[in-house]
Amino acid sequence: MLIRNSLLYMLARLLPGVFGMATTALLTRLLDVGSYGVYGVALVIMTFVSTMGFDWLGVSFLRFYDGKAGGDRTVATFVYIFFGLLALSGLLTLLAWAVGAFTGVQAPIYALGILLAWSYSWFELAARLETAGLRPFRYLAMNLARAALIFVGAAGAAWMTHDPVWTAVGTGVGMFCGALLGTMRSHSLAPRLFDPALARRVLAFGIPLAASLTLTGLISAGTRALVGALDSAEALGLYTAAFILTQNTLMIIGGGIASAGYPLAVRAVESGDVGRARRQFLANGSFLLAVMAPACLGMALTADGVANTLVGHKFAPMVATLTPWMAAGAFFGTMRAHFLDHAFQLGRRPGLQVWVTCVAAVVALGLSAFLIPRYGPVGAAMGVTAGMAVSAIHASIVSRFAYPVPLPIATGIRVLAACVFMGLLVRAVPGSSLFAFATQVAVGAVAYVAAAFALNVIDFRSRALPFLLRWTRGVLST
């Protein structure tokens, strides 16, 4: 079930990711570097506000929905908490406006960034309902609709106006409309279904988690803000383009795997069967590692092809330079966020996660502030990668105090060997043209699959061989 559902959820994220790449490719051609940097400011605000104020609610929903087997009461309680957070953030926004925090020509982009955060957060909560209910096809429909609408809205606005504000408006409309395809509307949201006792438990669980996610948001959004402040809007535009194409794409893959694995881990822990929970954790970590390691390495090895193919020529050189650093940071960040951090949530020790993320934020932001004046956007990517690596190591140690998560060491050794084989063959393909890029991707995929089969990574050979034998017999019999 893990591999099947993971593949479905990865597909549900990867296909919209293709739209995301296409959107970025068009915007980097329709907007100049400075305008794309202004658009990047809206995305920075969206990321930080949604991470700080709302993301913890979606994670908590998965934890409590599966633990309580769902129901209208659970859904209604979380929806009312969401609207409470929305009202609070709205009041804080009005207060900031009143004291003059939003002034100048960028005031509209600040306001749009907050509206984007609300739209994004509502979509994510609605999507969590599909994840918790193990409905990957509905989840796929929602994500595809959102990505397609963002593509049409953002690219259309950029084409007609070449204005970053209207581009952000198109992005927000697409996000909001995608949420309408979920099953949230099939649940009763009557006020009588609000459960105060559940709300108190959610807040007790979620406040430390919110603190941890806020620090995570500081690493992502704060680093981009430092690029804009310590360098320039053009540098922020370059960094944002590389971030969306590389780190965001790789995190999408990791999130797809976690969308299938986390609910299964919750059910295993709630069953009280320690052996079952351990096996599920090990399966989750092994599969995540087996997919993310070659994906991140492949992105780093084909950085020139990625940049020359997917972004405008003014963006390509810096995007190619940033991609390997961002791919490495995405690997460490994904392994921590979508595997190691689950120990804190399932062990109900989110406070420990705060300390791990705090150390990561200090390392990432401190190094970024030191390196950006010297190396520009590359310094920011170096700082984030260092912070993610430190936090992954830190989490692997501290998580033992929350829940004893087994580390997939045996799988890691096999994956490392397969990645070395893949890397050698990819590096043997020269050039950065579209044909060379496609050849590198094809060679890398075939090489890794062949090595994974030979080394029996995640029992790949054991699972695939019987299927191949049955298929061969069927062909010969006809």
What span, in angstroms and rounded, lies between the C-alpha atoms of 313 and 307? 8
Residue 184 and residue 57 in contact, taking contact as beta carbons nearer than 8 Å: no
For residue range 200-244, list pLDDT tens digits in order: 888 888 888 788 777 877 787 788 888 888 888 788 888 988 888
Q: What is the mean pLDDT of residues 163-187?
A: 74
Enter the tokens of residue 148: 């397609």
Q: Is residue 468 part of a domain?
A: no
Q: Which residues have C-beta within 8 Å of that of residue 195, sequence separation ≥ 6?
A: 73, 74, 76, 77
> What are the b/e assignments for 416-438, b being 16+ CB within 10 Å?
eebbebbbebbeebeebeeebbe
Does the residue 421 lie in any domain? no
Percent of the chain with pLDDT over 90: 19
The mean of the pLDDT values for the chain is 82
**Residues 256-312: tens digit of each pLDDT:** 777 777 777 877 887 777 888 888 888 888 989 999 999 999 999 999 888 888 887
Residue 441 clears pLDDT 70, i.e. is over it = yes
* Within-domain flag for 269: yes
Residue 427 located in a structural domain: no
Least confident of 181-195, 214-228, 441-455: 181-195
Q: Give one word for 70, left, alpha or beta, with left for phi > 0 and alpha for psi -120 to 50.
A: left
* Confidence bin at 195 (pLDDT 50/70/90): confident
What is the model's pLDDT at position 269? 80
Mean pLDDT of the region 469-477: 54
Q: Is residue 317 a part of any domain in this protein? A: yes
Average confidence (pLDDT) over 448-458:
88
User: What is the arithmetic mean of pLDDT over 94-122?
Assistant: 79
> Residues 323-342: what's their mean pLDDT?
91
Q: What is the mean pLDDT of residues 303-329?
A: 89
Rounded Cα gap, residues 273 and 264, in angstroms: 13
What count of other Cβ atoms lies within 10 Å of the Cβ of residue 141? Answer: 16
Instruction: Look at residue 463 and tell me whether its pLDDT is greater than 90.
Output: no
pLDDT at res. 474: 54
State the distance between the two ends of the chain, measured CA to CA, in whole angstroms: 31
For 158-200, give the DSSP string.
HHHH--HHHHHHHHHHHHHHHHTTSSGGGS---GGG--HHHHH
Residues 218 and 361 sit within 8 Å (Cβ to Cβ): yes
Q: pLDDT-based confidence at 14, cuts 50/70/90?
A: low
5 closest CA partner among 353, 221, 302, 262: 262
pLDDT at res. 277? 83
Longest dimension (CA), the chain: 79
The whole domain housing 346 covers: 2-407
Region 115-123 average pLDDT: 85
Confidence of residue 373 (pLDDT cuts 50, 70, 90): very high
Residue 471 lies in a domain: no
Q: What is the pLDDT of residues 391-435, one digit of tens each?
A: 999 998 988 888 888 888 989 999 999 999 999 999 998 876 778
Torsion of CA 262, 264, 270, 276, to 10 degrees: -120
Q: Is the dihedral of CA 424, 425, 429, 434 positive or negative?
A: negative
Q: Is residue 423 part of a domain?
A: no
The CA distance from 478 to 463, in Å, is 24
Contacts of 124 (CB under 8 A, 6+ apart): 50, 54, 55, 58
Residue type (1 letter), 23: T
Residues 303 and 316: their CA atoms lie apart, in Å, by: 10
Least trusted range by pLDDT, from 19-28, 68-77, 344-353, 358-367: 68-77
The answer to whether residue 228 sits within a structural domain is yes
Query: Computed over its alpha carbons, how large is the radius of gyration of the chain?
Result: 22
DSSP, residue by residue, 258-306? HHHHHHHHHHHHHTT-HHHHHHHHHHHHHHHHHHHHHHHHHHHHTHHHH
Q: What is the mean pLDDT of residues 85-103?
A: 82
pLDDT at 310 (0 to 100):
81
| Pick from 194, 215, 160, 176: nearest CA to 337 | 215
The mean pLDDT value for 8-13 works out to: 63
Task: Answer yes or no: are the C-beta atoms of 154 and 170 closer than 8 Å.
Answer: yes
Is-above-0.95 flag for pTM?
A: no
Instruction: Specify the pLDDT at position 3.
Output: 55
Q: Which two tokens stand for residue 121?
A: 């957060």
Q: So what's the pLDDT on residue 49? A: 84
Q: Determine phi and psi for 235, rounding to 5 degrees.
A: -65, -40
Q: pLDDT value at position 297?
A: 95
* pLDDT at res. 477: 56
The first and second tokens of residue 72, run together, are 């209208």
What is the predicted pLDDT for the residue at 381? 93
pLDDT at residue 115 tops 80: yes
The Cα 349–Cα 400 span in angstroms is 11
68 pLDDT tier (thresholds 50, 70, 90): very low
* pLDDT value for 69: 46
Q: What is the mean pLDDT of residues 443-456?
A: 91
- What is the count of structural domains for the chain? 1
pLDDT at 371: 94
Among 34-48, 195-209, 382-396, the range scoring the smallest mean pLDDT is 34-48
